Amino acid sequence: MHVKVRAKTAVEYCQRLIFAILATCAMVLGVTIAPPMALAANATTTTPKGPTFRDDIGAVYIPADQGVRYHIYQYEKNPNADGSEGSPALNRTEVTWPDSGFDYAKPGTYTADQGLAADKLVVVTAVSAGSATVLDGTTQWAHLLPDASKQLTFNDESTTITVPDITGVDFYVGGAKTNPGEVAAQSSAKTTVTAVTSADVTDAPNIEVLNQEHTFPTVVTPKGPKFDDNAGTVYIPSDQGVRYYINIGDKLIVKEGLPYSKPGTYTTADGIESGKEIVVTAKSAGSTTILTGTTEWKHTFAIVAAAPSFDDEKATVTIPETQGVSYYIDNATEPATAGVHNGKAGVKMTVTAKSEDGTTLNTWSHTFPSVVTPKGPKFDDNAGTVYIPSDQGVRYYIVIDGKTITKEGYEFSKPGTYTTADGIVAGKEITVTAKSAGSSTVLTGTTEWKHTLAARPDSSIANGDEFNDASPLVNKNWKILNQNVPTNKNTNVVYRTDGVQVKDGVLNIITERHCLADGETPSAANAQAEPCGNGKRTVYTSGRIESGFDYKAPFVMEVRAKMADPNNGNTFKGMHFSAWIRNNQKYCGKDVASSDIAELDTMEVYSDQAATTNTSHVSCVAGPNGEDWTSRDTHVMGAKLVGEWHTYKMVWDGKAIEYFFDGKAVPLNGTNGETKTTAATLNMSEEKFRRVLNDYPWQIIVNNNVFGKSDWKAGPDDSKRFDPIVNQVDYVRINPIADANPNAPRGAIAGYWQSNRWLGDPTGAEISVKGGASQTFQNGTVFWSSRTGETHAVKGAILSAYGAQKWEQGRLGFPTSDERSLNGGASQSFENGQIHWSGGTGAHATFGAIQGYWSGAGWENGWLGYPTGDELAVKGGASQTFQGGTLFWSGSTGTHALKGAILNAYAAQRYEQGKLGFPTSDERSLNGGASQSFQNGQVHWSGSTGAHATFGAIQGYWSDRGWENGWLGYPTGDELSVRGGASQSFQGGTVFWQNGGGTHGVKGAIRDKYSDFGWEQGKLGFPISEENTGLKDGGASQVFEHGQIHWSGGTGAHATFGAIQDHWASTGWENGWLGYPTSDEINDSAKAGEVYQNFQGGQVHWGSSVGAYTSSWGGGSSGGGSSNGGSGSDTGGVTGPIVHRGAFCSPEGALGISDGKDRNVLVCKIAKDNRLRWQNLK
């Protein structure tokens, strides 16, 4: 006997090893033992979560743990314990949930309400809930809750330990087991106390439940303080383990914010006073020290000179009046009178106090700080900002809702501009406070400012702005430039937030002159109409607003505006008033060699010319010196502009750019009335023209520029008066319009089309889709992906298959390659799969695991060939057909291929949705055939038997007998479901399985006879044993539910049943004098309801009135029948005796057989044909 033991844990290993030894002994003794629970076929190993001991509430929490049951035990001493085996030292009490009916601790929190005693040892054990679970890891826990553990106490004063008496717990002090009671310890030493469960706690012995360390304190005698009457000081020594406390009245004298008087010398500057009692107290610095000896000292110093007081803001000193003391300021020869004396800001003053005898008592020196008036913050409602100036000796603090707004981790608001990004909030009160940056500065004047920033309007500018908001502030969707220096070296303008203002439905752009000293920035204080003098720099401020890049071409933009008239209707120098739109590409320069920048100047008005100018800039290159060279067209129309309202309009319709002034088209400069800028007028391709204008977002800008001295136009005359100029804008409007050439390719698709003109002309406009765009052409469709940045065309049958997969929004995603030519077909790759096409199969997509299997098999060049259908999603997985077979995939089985006869048999079983489930292997070659495994069975094939599936118990029976290599051979039919079970035919026999019974094979002549009786549905029922060979004369037998079949070479196979079989068995079966049966049961034709059966040695008869009996004849073989009535039994001329119920009928005489009532019922007679007969007298 061999017992295999496979253990997952040490406990299970031991369990299985013991079982193996016991099983071996049982085999020798001829008995059977059941395997341990852990060896159950479906057992799982579980690691218990374990309990949670809640010290905070004195409770134990039992978790919900599948397959695990917990028990909580507590213990009392057994008063009746006598040391014998049946008398334990402890009585165990189990804690269960009240009224739960459980004999274990169900999940939950156990407190005193559930019967848990918090002052006793708590033991929890885990056991398996049944045979389906084997526990691993920790299964025993012990714990002392605080009510128990706190019984252990340490007495520092007596240096002793009190060990508690807790049932089931042994205590060890310093490693030595200690009985309950008081134990002496060592001073200044660390002592460790541990507690473990005692050996009497059989549920969880020797588990540590407590481990505490305690250091007993050191006894110290304080050194005590030193009082110096001459210096008026108190000295506190450095005393290990001692803290001192200096008290004068109710005041504690300390340094550095400590809660005690640290070691060192304490003077009047620290709070020591003359004439008042000083009390110094010594206390232990912690639990490691206990003080002895004197711990309190008292002392009073003689009176000393009071200190003068200095007033920094007024720069004065106040001399106190102290009896017997004179004060001298800056070494004056005469003492100063009591009262206020003036000093100087920034100058040091010394005050000396002397006694009546001229002894110097004390000296005080003080430097009066500088007095500064803070500049104060600037609040900008338009920009929604707060500006903090750089102010020597001043620190500012911006506070909103109690929070200080700072930058870079400073504790104060450093100089600079604070915006919403820094925490500035419109609509809430902002408090700015100025404080001195140090002792050398005193602030005067205003030191606090409060302001609430107005909220800017927040209406949409998706179609421009009418500037009709009631607020004077510009809509918050416009960015307002705010600068301190000019934009570039050629201009002389600084754009400021106060340069724009909304009033009466109009945007005002205000331009002013400022005269700046070195380091100064423009402000209202330095605005000046008159020319700047005295070496000051002339700078102009104005306004500029910008939208976001929020507009998409094609569009129409319209502006109504008026340029100021400071020169009585005449032109003047220096101003450039404009409203324009640009895309988000960069201008060319030293760092940008070329760009798709576009700028369309809807309104471009110069103050020194009586004409409107409109310029279209479409792309650029950098000049040799970094110049911005743009491809441009300029439109010009003469008109009076200053002081008058005009309407300016620009239209880009997808084909051409056109400008209008007061409704009239503005002609191209230098042409004969041509008004449109096109690709042709700019000498560039249509594709580039449309790309630059259509493929990028656009931004609107409105501003007034002031030319500088080195600009391409002259700036204002700085030597003449310049009054503020206000240019006005009534509205800015922008609206999208239909593309005049909607089908024209653009961007990346246009570039691809230019290189692949086989596509033909576009048949539709570009369509924006999630993640990219697409456009249809005569011979295919082009797709562009923003994720990959790639552009590819899809055509023909692959395009149709792509469409069936919902294009780029479907499972395939965007194409990642162009079409590739293959042997006999074509393919194309996509983000998440491929499409393959051949003339014989059409186009089909492949994905994921199925595609991976196919690629591993050589793609279309492998045995699978091209796909012949799309992937089919099925319950639990997917499948796909190919020329050479079908692939099936599920998450638990992976991907496997089926082909040929096995595939056909799988189909007959309803594929993966049938009884077999998904394949778990590929096809295997066998001796003379092949097989393939599935989740719930296998399919075997051979050339002579075909392909058939096997399952469950029948398959298990077959596998135990060597599969196709055993006596059964290959299956020749599918499993047949029958009443009460199933059967399946094989080359060497038939296997039967009975529901609730076993599985057995039937073969050869016995199988043929079984067939005669109607298989399992006939009289015999299901087989309940295997064929029993080695019988007499090389015979065999097999047992069925209702009978048996016996076979020998000389008799063939015959079934026996019921009483006849029982009678035969009583004679010793085939080994008795009857031998083997030579016929099946035969109905007696002479007597209805009675049967007989022939055997080698005689006949067995059965009738309902007489039961079964035997007849035989000497030296003969069975040749006839026997009956209990009528004419008797013909012996066939045999002269030997006929036996019936032990009585003999012979020619020598007749013997009557009585029925027990003195009546003969059978008489042996010689019949007329000279044959022996039993005559039924009834």
Instruction: Report pTM.
Output: 0.46
Beta strands in 607-682 (DSSP E): 611-622, 628-638, 645-652, 657-661, 664-665, 676-677
Residue 39 pLDDT level (bands cut at 50, 70, 90):
very low
Residue 38 has pLDDT above 60, yes or no: no
Residue with tokens 């006793």: 120
| pLDDT of the residue at 1157 | 41
Q: H or E element: which one contains 904?
A: helix 900-908
Type of residue numbered 512: E
Residue 22 has pLDDT above 60, yes or no: no
CA distance 23 to 11: 18
Cβ-Cβ contacts under 8 Å for 709 (sequence gap 6 or more): 492, 715
Residue 305 pLDDT level (bands cut at 50, 70, 90):
confident
Residue 1108 pLDDT level (bands cut at 50, 70, 90):
low
Type of residue numbered 35: P
Both ends of the chain: CA-CA distance in Å?
Answer: 63
| pLDDT of the residue at 511 | 95
Q: H or E element: which one contains 266?
A: strand 264-266
More confident residue, 493 or 1040: 1040
1050-1070: average pLDDT? 96
In three-state secondary structure terms, 1144 is strand
In three-state secondary structure terms, 149 is helix
CA distance 799 to 828: 10
Q: What is the pLDDT of residues 671-716, one digit of tens each?
A: 788 999 999 999 999 889 999 999 899 999 999 999 887 777 888 9
Residue 14 has pLDDT above 70, yes or no: no
Q: What is the pLDDT of residues 955-1010, one digit of tens each?
A: 999 999 999 999 999 999 999 999 999 999 999 999 999 999 899 999 999 999 99
Neighbours of 1044 (CB within 10 A): 23
Chain center to CA of 839? 46
Residue 11 pLDDT level (bands cut at 50, 70, 90):
very low
CA distances (Å), origin 311, targets 308, 368, 395, 824, 1164: 10, 8, 21, 103, 159
CA distance 704 to 1161: 145
| pLDDT of the residue at 152 | 92
| pLDDT of the residue at 502 | 95
Q: What is the pLDDT of residues 357-384, one digit of tens each?
A: 888 889 999 988 888 899 999 998 888 8
CA distance 904 to 910: 10
Spans of all domains in the chain: 1-39, 49-144, 146-216, 219-300, 309-368, 375-455, 1016-1176
Hey, what are 480's tokens? 């307002």
CA distance 1016 to 979: 9
Strands of the 416-418 sheet, one edge to the other: 378-380, 385-388, 416-418
Residue 736 pLDDT level (bands cut at 50, 70, 90):
very high
| pLDDT of the residue at 744 | 87
CA distance 54 to 105: 16
The residue among 950, 840, 939, 934 whose CA lies nearest residue 888 is 934
| pLDDT of the residue at 1132 | 36
Which residues partner with 617 through β-bridges? Answer: 599, 632
The residue among 55, 205, 66 whose CA lies nearest residue 140 is 205
pLDDT mean across residues, the chain:
88
Residue 486 pLDDT level (bands cut at 50, 70, 90):
low
| pLDDT of the residue at 1106 | 62
CATH T-level assignment (fold) for domain 219-300: Immunoglobulin-like (2.60.40)
| pLDDT of the residue at 521 | 85
CA distance 1123 to 1121: 7
Cβ-Cβ contacts under 8 Å for 716 (sequence gap 6 or more): 513, 540, 572, 573, 574, 575, 706, 707, 722
* Percent of the chain with pLDDT strictly greater than 90: 71
| pLDDT of the residue at 289 | 86
CA distance 148 to 184: 22
Cβ-Cβ contacts under 8 Å for 232 (sequence gap 6 or more): 267, 268, 272, 274, 301, 302, 304
The residue among 963, 510, 941, 561 whose CA lies nearest residue 728 is 561
